[in-house]
Amino acid sequence: MGDWPACRPTTCHEIETVSRILFVMLHPGFVRYYDDALQALAAAGHQIHVAFEVSRTKLGEDVTAQRLASMSDRITCGPAPTRAESVRTFLARSDRTATRSGGAARRWRDPEARAEAWESFGTTVRLALDYLRYFEPAFEHATALRARAEKRLPRVYPPMVRGVARMGSAARAALSRLLLQLESLAPPNAAIDAFIREQAPDLLLVTPLIELGSQQVDYIKSARRVGVRTALCVASWDNLTSKGLIRVVPDRVIVWNEQQKSEAVTLHGVAPEQVMVTGAQLFDKWFTATPSRTRESFCRRVGLDSDRPFVLYVGSSMFIAPDEVPFAERWLSSLRRAESSTSARLGVLFRPHPANADQWRALDLASEEGVALWPPIGTDPTAADFRSDFFDSLFYSAAIVGINTSAQIEAAIVGRPVLTIRASEFAHAQQGTLHFRHLVGAQDGCVIEAHTLDEHVGQLLAAVGDPAPSIERDRRFVASFIRPRGVDVPAVPVFVESISALARERPPAVRPESWWLRATRPPAIVLARLAHVLAEDRPLWILALRPVITAAVWIAWIPFRIAGAWHDHGYLRVKRLLRATQRAWYESTQVLRHRAHRARKPILSLVRSAARRLAGKNA
Amino acid sequence: MTIVESHVDGHPILVSCPGVSTGGSIPLDVAELLARARQRGVAVCLLPDSIAADHPLFALRSERIVRVDPAGARGRWLRARWWISAVLARAVIRANASAAVFWREIYRELRRHIGDERLPYALRTRLRTIADRSMERSTHATGRVSPDIRARRLLREPLNLRMPASLERTARDEATRCGVSLDRPIVALEFRSRLESLGPAIDRLVRDGYAVVRIGPPGGGPLDLAGVVDLTTTEHADALDLNILMRAKCLVCESPTAQQIAYLTDTPCIRLNVVDPYEAYPLRADGLFTLATPVELNTGRELSVEEGLAPEHVRHLDRFAHRPNRSSDVLAAVEEMLEIVNGAHVDTVRQARYRARIVETAQTLPSNDHRRPDDGFIGDGRLARVQADHVS
């Protein structure tokens, strides 16, 4: 699996712990970028705790994390401290179509409400910063990326940011500085401080940090306050150009290559001496991999003729190619139309992107000969043979075609001709992204690009006929982009060595918060409250109307309350009193009646005797 | 579409401004206006906006419908009248839309309080009732923000339009330049995706002596087949496309715009790979369509022809992928179209059943849905026999 010792639980006990590393990842999906490196770090004696901010089960990522933890007892995984309001909750709150009931309104002084307000404030400012960066000249053509960043911001802000950004670079720089100052106003996250203190790491690693509105900056800030060294591990080749900003620069930024180093310096303002170039550690396994089965067996499995060469079409992600199937069909038909014996013989294997596979259900291959789709849609990407299957697909193919995907990098490592076509429907993902230029660069790019399908088919047939120039191109690309320290130097040991060196360094001095920040915070809570309210992304008039509606509801509460209180207390008492009165009346009347009854007989006898006496006298 | 009734020299006249900026479909707007004028026996005045003014559609004339193009002060007056009516109509729509938003926001605001457990249960129940009523008001207001229901019944009859001589000459010159023979029977083709699925159908048309001319905007690559002239790869005047459509025995198309222009030019039309049957149902008796097969994205299950009519499909088209027609289906549908063109077509029982069923299900669409039938009429066209045969 590589040139470093594999970690086994039995041997790990025997090595003394070199250092403690806390690795904060956004979600378990990032494990696949670092699984080999983490195992190697554990084998080198480091104790690693991987904390996930979001627990996601998409594409079986939770399984990947569990598998990682089971590989070594020096690696543990767990959740990061819960946020008062995560970016996901922030975005969910701004969903205008939502019709769910809200919870009880919190009191103004409620600490939870205050924490939520500060989280909203921080996220808003970070999202605004991320949006602002897409007005820089480098992102002139990145309309889709800009639109994506704009979509995340509550609607009240983009016009303001846009207005300032279009005033020129000085205005952009001023706004950026202001937003960074505002971002630093957010108070320290006590839970994160406590988490870092509890973990007591020698080194804090963070990835990806640059997601739009990412809250991971709080880890960097907390580590500074606690006195822990920090580093950002740049996970993938597009991270520095297609996401957000590194808003708080950690002590070190670990990148794959010089191109990324240049991006970190020019686009994120990182000092060159803070950047460490290690190579792409996640691709090491591709250099030593071997096919898991024979070509005949593989072709039989996927449904292709093993006697004919085949082209592998690799699908792209949802953002890059939301509607890829019609294009793939057009590509296939132009390949079939080409008047060439090679073209007629070529088989075609479609391999959808695992996170964008559903749309490929529309692909109708019933009438196509020598064309297959593999793996079947719905295949578990965490399955044991998924990766080996992918390698076999690359290894046995004659060439690889795709729009803009990391599979093209993997194809270059395997040493196959890699091609692409510039298509109008993918302009947002090709000329509209900076990372695409790494693929098609005239000097170091690995991908042969065409501007029309006919031109592409010509290039493809030429590359299949004579792959040598393409392989040379791949080699140059790999030497520059994947293994900048030499094609034969694996990146994982370099990564491990860099991390170990960082962990060995003396911890930085504790950097407490400045007094002016603490002084500014109490009045700034008004801004935080405002950001919290505006994050709902509702029309401004409803915010003005809200106190009126709230007052109306609470005024309506009064009669309901009185009625309730009357029902609970007054009504019963009066009822009881009435009953007692009735009873008293009833009982008193009964007694009187009884007495009257008893008094009637003597009175009657008296009257009768008096009458008799009177009658006797008269007689 | 806003239509204003006015008078010119004492004669009644219908005035409208079909165009891009009005947010409608130009061909359908023009067709509907002309059909209304014909029905009422009045003249018509078209005021194309600046974006669409040069489109040759506005140059078409009819012997039965008088077109008035007033210039000078009268023209400005008519335009001003139409503009005021359109602004008022738009203001009403906007007011309804604002009312819908207002009640919806009140609903959402009340929902916040409904979740507040400090409030007594009776009050929360009362608030829920008020909130539900607000939502009803919002839905009601949304219903009033409806686009006009198309006068489908009026559009079922041909309009008998013709091209002015000057445009006709331009089109002829362009045709000669592009290598199109206007003397042969023509089948117009407007198609961009999966061109190879047309192969057998085009072979059949060419065998029957038709010249197949591909028109429309470029895209989908060139169509290099014997007997096909592909105009999408050469620069040419719009008048040529329109002229070809007017002369064509039939149109084989994929886009709604082409289908709608065919209503103006009275060209029998077959529309392929239809995703939404309500939107595409042909109004004319010489219309035909085929459905793309919906595939559920989550499960990969193919929907039957009847399941494609279900609200779950037409309201959530993004939850489905749509598999285009196979070449055998396209061939069968084109052959059926030739039967219609030759007057030898009779609807099958299943085609009639599908029509009855789509009318029935279209009635369940929301009241503000422009795809609803016009007083129980959705169209005289039909689903292609090759697919209608699967209707139970």
Distance (Å) from the C-alpha of residue B303 to the closest C-alpha of chain A?
Answer: 12
- In chain A, which residue's Cα lies nearest the Cα of B225? A337
Amino acid present at A507: P
pTM above 0.80, yes or no: yes
Chain A residue numbers touching B329 (CB-CB < 8 A): none
Distance (Å) from the C-alpha of residue B50 to the closest C-alpha of chain A?
Answer: 28
Query: Residue A102 and residue B115: Cβ atoms within 8 Å?
Result: yes
Report the share of chain A in percent with pLDDT over 90: 71
pLDDT in tens, A269-280: 999 999 999 999
Question: What sign has the CA pseudo-torsion A508, A514, A515, A518?
Answer: negative
Helix (H, G, I), strand (E, B) or coil at B43: strand
User: Is residue A214 within 8 Å of residue A87, measured between CB atoms?
Assistant: yes
- In chain A, which residue's Cα lies nearest the Cα of B325? A364
Chain A residue numbers touching B108 (CB-CB < 8 A): 98-99, 538, 542
pLDDT of A396 above 70? yes
pLDDT at B93: 87
Exposed, middle or buried: residue A340 (CB in 10 Å: 0-12, 13-18, 19+)? Answer: middle
Query: Which residue(s) pair with A447 in the sheet?
Result: A418
pLDDT of A591 above 70? yes
Chain B residue numbers touching A325 (CB-CB < 8 A): 321
Query: Residue A553 and residue B322: Cβ atoms within 8 Å?
Result: no
Query: A25-29, A102-106, B276-280 — which is least confidently predicted?
Result: A102-106
d(CA B96, CA B368): 12
Instruction: Judge whether B392 is closer than 8 Å to chain A, CB to CB.
Output: no
pLDDT band at residue A83 using 50, 70 and 90 as cut-offs:
very high
Query: A349-353, B149-153, B165-169 — which is least confidently predicted?
Result: B149-153
From chain A, which residues contact B within 8 Å (Cβ)? 98-105, 325-326, 329-330, 333-334, 336-337, 358-364, 366-367, 377-378, 453-454, 538-539, 542, 545-546, 549-550, 553, 556-557, 560-561, 563-564
Query: A12-16, A200-204, A388-392, B324-328 — which is least confidently predicted?
Result: A12-16
Query: Residue A549 and residue B109: Cβ atoms within 8 Å?
Result: yes
pLDDT in tens, A292-320: 999 999 999 999 999 999 999 999 999 99
d(CA A394, CA A414): 7
ipTM given for this complex: 0.80
How far CA B71 is from CA of B8, B17, B138, in Å, comes to 12, 15, 44
Chain B residue numbers touching A561 (CB-CB < 8 A): 120
d(CA A391, CA A182): 48
pLDDT of A69 above 90? no
pLDDT at A60: 67
pLDDT in tens, A514-558: 888 889 998 999 999 999 999 988 888 998 999 999 999 999 999
Residues 101-130 of B with CB under 8 A from A: 101, 105-120, 122-123, 126-127
Distance (Å) from the C-alpha of residue B194 to the closest C-alpha of chain A?
Answer: 6
Query: Residue A453 and residue B221: Cβ atoms within 8 Å?
Result: yes
How far CA B290 is from CA of A141, B308, B331, B334, in Å, comes to 39, 12, 11, 10
Query: Residue A564 and residue B120: Cβ atoms within 8 Å?
Result: yes
Provide the CA A517 distance to its chain's centre, in angstroms: 29
- Which structure tokens are listed for A145? 């990326």
pLDDT band at residue A39 using 50, 70 and 90 as cut-offs:
very high
pLDDT of B99 above 60? yes
Of B106, B114, B194, the CB nearest to A329: B194
Mean pLDDT, rounded, for B364-379: 83
Amino acid present at B321: A
Question: What sign has the CA pseudo-torsion B267, B272, B276, B278?
Answer: positive
Question: What does DSSP assign to residue A138?
Answer: G
Instruction: Judge whether B169 is closer than 8 Å to chain A, CB to CB.
Output: no
Substitution target in A324, A339, A359, A361 with the highest count of B β-carbons within 10 Å is A361
pLDDT in tens, B350-359: 999 999 999 9
Instruction: Judge whether B164 is closer than 8 Å to chain A, CB to CB.
Output: no
Query: A132-136, A263-267, B60-64 — which is least confidently predicted?
Result: B60-64
pLDDT in tens, B41-95: 899 888 877 767 778 888 888 888 888 887 788 888 888 888 898 889 889 889 9
Q: What is the DSSP code string of A170-237?
A: HHHHHHHHHHHHHHHHSPP-HHHHHHHHHH--SEEEEE---STT-STHHHHHHHHHHT-EEEEE--ST
Distance (Å) from the C-alpha of residue A243 to the closest C-alpha of chain B?
Answer: 26
Question: What does DSSP assign to residue B302?
Answer: B
Q: What is the dihedral of CA A515, A517, A518, A520, to 10 degrees?
A: 120
d(CA B294, CA B304): 8
Distance (Å) from the C-alpha of residue A366 to the closest C-alpha of chain B?
Answer: 9
d(CA A182, CA A127): 12
Of A362, A377, A560, the CB nearest to B122: A560
d(CA A32, CA B140): 51
pLDDT in tens, A86-118: 999 999 888 766 666 555 566 667 888 899 999
